[in-house]
Amino acid sequence: MPRGVLDVARGRARARVATGDLARSIVAAFACATLAFAVGCALAHAEVARGRHVAFALFPTLGVAYLAACVPLAVAYTNPEDVRAGLNALRPSDYAWLFRRTWGAFRDAEDGKVRGKDL
């Protein structure tokens, strides 16, 4: 049987997306990341409007940080059987674990595809 993205043994029944507490914590974490991105963009825009044109460089930086923060959440949402039981994406230690595992798997993949054995 194939292994999951985060290398956790799968059960017989496979859920398509996260449900319950995991889904709620992922949606809340995504909302927090989106809010932080929007506030950062508003602050950068205010600095550019004040004449500090160097602040324009914050826009791509904020975009990259936002995407880097949301990819682990998307992986956990679409592959709930691959994350550890009781994961709460709002808890910093759990999010850090998810972030390290997801991006570590991408980093170590030779062809850009993540497989369970890569973790």
Residue 43 — pLDDT band, cuts 50, 70, 90?
very high
**Given this model, what pLDDT does residue 1 score?**
46
Residue 78's nearest CA partner among 14, 32, 35, 1 is: 14
Percentage of residues in the chain having pLDDT higher than 90: 41
Unique residue bearing structure tokens 């826009």? 59
Residue 14's nearest CA partner among 95, 80, 110, 92 is: 80
Residue 87 — pLDDT band, cuts 50, 70, 90?
confident
User: Would you state the structure tokens that stand for residue 70, as one six-digit string?
Assistant: 């949301």
> Is the pLDDT higher at 5 or at 89?
89
pLDDT tens digit sequence for 95-108: 999 999 888 888 87
Residue range 55-79: average pLDDT? 91
* 8-state DSSP, 117: G
In angstroms, rounded to a whole number, what is the distance separating the alpha carbons of residues 62 and 71?
A: 14
**Given this model, what pLDDT does residue 19 score?**
75
Mean pLDDT, the chain, rounded, equals: 82
Unique residue bearing structure tokens 């929007």? 38
pLDDT of 11 above 60: no
**Given this model, what pLDDT does residue 35 score?**
97
- Tell me the HSE value of 75 on the side-chain side, using a 13 A CA sphere: 29
In angstroms, rounded to a whole number, what is the distance separating the alpha carbons of residues 60 and 62?
A: 5
Please report, for the chain, the start and end positions of each structural domain, with discontinuous segments joined by +: 28-81
